[in-house]
């Protein structure tokens, strides 16, 4: 499972395919205060990214991978 859902944190790891988008959305709707752990995120499918951008949940850890962090982190900083 690329996304494992804990009590308050969803951990995204590796490649998150489009199939994950709907479950992630559902989880975030259910847990409005839920946080995302993106530490080991490899590549989110555009649909998954879109969910993150739209709902902007709190991120507990940004990706370790610098390349990803470089474009992902600003998305949380600016007024999307």
Partner 1 sequence: MDPMLEAFISESRDNLETAGRCFLELEKCSGDEGLLNDLFRSVHTIKGSSGLFDIPVFTKVVHAAEDVLDSVRSGELLMTPEHIDMFLDTMDQVSVWLDDLESTGSLGDGAEARSQVLVQDLRALLSAPPTVGSDPNVTEPEDLSQPQDAPDTGGRLCTPPGWLAAMPDKLRLALYARTGGESLDILAIEYTPDSQCFFSGEDPLHIVRTLPGMVWFHIQARDSWLEPVEMDPYQCNLVFHAVAAGTDNEIRHHLRYVNEWVHVMLLAPDQLVVPEGEFGDSEPFETFIEESTQLIEEGGWRRLRQRIHPLLEVSEPGFLQTSVLHWMETLLKEDEPNQALLESLLETLRSGVFQWPEEMFDPVTQDNTPSLVEDGTSVSMHELDEPRLAAVRQALVVQRHILSMPCSYELLAGRIASVAKVVKNLLAASESHPAGLDAAIETALDEKSPEPLVAFVDDLLSAMKPDGKKPASGPEDKPMQREEVRHQDVSGQQVGGSDGEICPRMGAMPKQMSTSAGEPPARSKTLRVDQQRIDALMDLVGELVVAKNAMPFLARRAENDFGIRLLAKEIKAQYAVINRLAEELQGAVMQIRMIPVSSVFQRFPRLVRDLSRKLGKQIRLVLEGEETEADKNVVENLADPLIHLVRNSLDHGLETAQERESAGKPAEGTIILRAISHDDQVIIEVVDNGRGIDPEVIKRKAYGKGVIDEQRLDTITDHEALQLIFAAGFSTAEEVSDLSGRGVGMDVVRSVVMQAGGRVSVESKKGEGTTIRLSLPLSMAVTRVMMVEVAGQCYGVAMENIVETVRVPTTDIQRIKHNEAVVLRDKIIPLFYLSKLLNLKVNTASSGEVAILLMKVAGQEVGLVIDEFHEGLDIIQKPLEGVLVHYPWYAGAALLGDGRVLLVLNIRELLSCR
Question: Which parts of this chain interact with partner 1 (CB under 8 A)?
Answer: 18, 21-22, 24-25, 28-29, 43-47, 49-51, 53-55, 71, 74-75, 80
Nearer to partner 1 among residue 4 and residue 73 (C-beta): 73
CA dihedral 69, 73, 74, 77 (to 10 degrees): -160
Taking the complex as a whole, the smallest distance from the CB of residue 16 to partner 1 amounts, in Å, to 11
Nearer to partner 1 among residue 37 and residue 57 (C-beta): 57
Alpha-carbon distance of 26 to 63, in angstroms, equals 23
Query: CB–CB of 29/56 below 8 Å?
Result: no
Query: CB–CB of 42/15 below 8 Å?
Result: yes
Taking the complex as a whole, the smallest distance from the CB of residue 78 to partner 1 amounts, in Å, to 8
Taking the complex as a whole, the smallest distance from the CB of residue 14 to partner 1 amounts, in Å, to 14
């Amino acid at each position: 499972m690329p996304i494992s859902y804990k009590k308050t944190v969803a951990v995204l790891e590796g490649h998150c395919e489009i199939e994950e988008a709907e479950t992630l959305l559902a989880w975030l709707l259910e847990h409005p205060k839920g946080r995302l752990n993106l530490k080991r995120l490899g590549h989110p499918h555009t649909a998954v990214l879109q969910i993150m951008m739209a709902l902007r949940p709190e991120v507990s850890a940004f990706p370790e991978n610098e390349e990803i962090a470089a474009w992902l982190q600003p998305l949380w900083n600016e007024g999307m």
